[in-house]
Amino acid sequence: MNLSNGKTLAASGQNRNGTSGSWEDAGRVVKPSTPTRKPQPPKPENAVTIAVSSRVLFNMEPEQQYLKYQVEHENEPFSPGPAFSFVKALEAVNTRLRELYPQSEELFDVVLVTNNHAHVGLRLINTINHHHLFIERFCMTGGNSPIGYLKAYHTNLYLSADSAKVREALEEGIAAATMFTQEKMKEVSESQLRVAFDGDGVLFSDESERIFKAHGLDKFFEHEKAHENKPLDHGPLKGFLEALGKLQRKFFDKGLRMDCPIRTYLVTARSAASSAGAPKGPMLEKIRPHIFFDDQMFHVEGAAELGTVACHVPYGIAQKVAKK
């Protein structure tokens, strides 16, 4: 079964608990019913929507391309991928939010995005149940671009292993980053979400980075001094940080500023124009974020080597330099 008209693929079957599973049109995506009653997912316009590809939520390679293998092993769950702990932390925050605001739909909402065949979808459903993940929305693109679906879900962040799709999302103004499978991953908090960001080219524009690349470090410092009272323009992930801040304030309003389950960090080598700065891996190793975003592979690779789940934001001048 393969669609060529941009619609999602539909399939149905039985999951590991004997409940029915289904893949439907992306506008109506639902997860199979489960034996216990769970809260309904929020409307996309009210939620902080995180779209995650199946290849980063679970370790699906190398056998993912073999349909016969997937059908024969549909009851064997995939192991957790690099985005798994991040998604679990989102669910932990949702639990706290529902306790404080039972009627509110201002929650994290995870959408699983995949190009895989519908029969692989059955194994994905079984895997989600096995790991007790609360994912109610699925989007199977049939190999087509996910951009239309991401916009329909009002996506605040898109995580994928496909760098071309990440670039396409960024070009459409959707916060996005490329995730990589890594051998080493540090243990992270199960109750507190920790998200770390680079500055230039991630939260902020790469204006200063362009000055440094074109004219050197002295001109960079001159530019910084001349514009020290002028805020930098926004970068591709500024909106996602703002969405996190909005949920943080809901905890602050309940007097939980010190006990807030959302922590955000700015980790930058800005004093030496990021590309010349010290490695960020050692600092991130102490922070132990669930996810770290940087526009330079040097820092992404360095963080990953020390066990931090690091994502690449292919944005701005750093990408042009890297291609040379």
Residues of the chain falling short of pLDDT 70: 1-37, 61-73, 117-119, 206-231, 270-277, 317-324
The dihedrals phi and psi of 179, each to the nearest 5 degrees, come to -105, 155
- 154-208 pLDDT tens trace: 999 999 999 999 999 999 999 999 999 888 899 999 999 999 999 888 998 766 6
Q: Supply the pLDDT for residue 31.
A: 44
* Sequence-ordered list of residues with C-beta below 8 angstroms from that of 202, at least 6 positions apart, any chain: 235, 236, 237, 293, 294, 295, 313, 315
68 CB-contact burial (10 Å; exposed 0-12 / middle 13-18 / buried 19+): exposed
Beta strand 137-140 pairing with 262-266:
unpaired
Q: Supply the pLDDT for residue 117.
A: 67
Q: Supply the pLDDT for residue 16.
A: 36
- Select 193-323's CATH number: 1.10.3110, 2.60.40, 3.50.50, 3.40.50: 3.40.50
**Catalytic positions, please?**
198
Q: Please identify which residue in the block is written with the tokens 């999602």.
A: 8
Tell me the two tokens of residue 226.
Answer: 């001349």
Nearest alpha-carbon partner for 79 in 101, 46, 54, 44: 54
Cα distance between residue 53 and residue 296, in whole Å: 22
8 Å CB contact between 138 and 31: yes
The answer to whether the 11-178 and 193-323 domains have the same CATH topology is: yes
Radius of gyration of the chain (CA): 20
Tell me the two tokens of residue 14.
Answer: 């039985």
Ordered by start, the domain boundaries in the chain are 11-178, 193-323
State which H helix or E strand residue 59 sits in. Answer: strand 58-59
Question: Is the CATH number of domain 11-178 3.30.2000?
Answer: no
Q: Supply the pLDDT for residue 161.
A: 94
Nearest alpha-carbon partner for 53 in 104, 112, 127, 124: 112
Amino acid at position 240, single letter: F
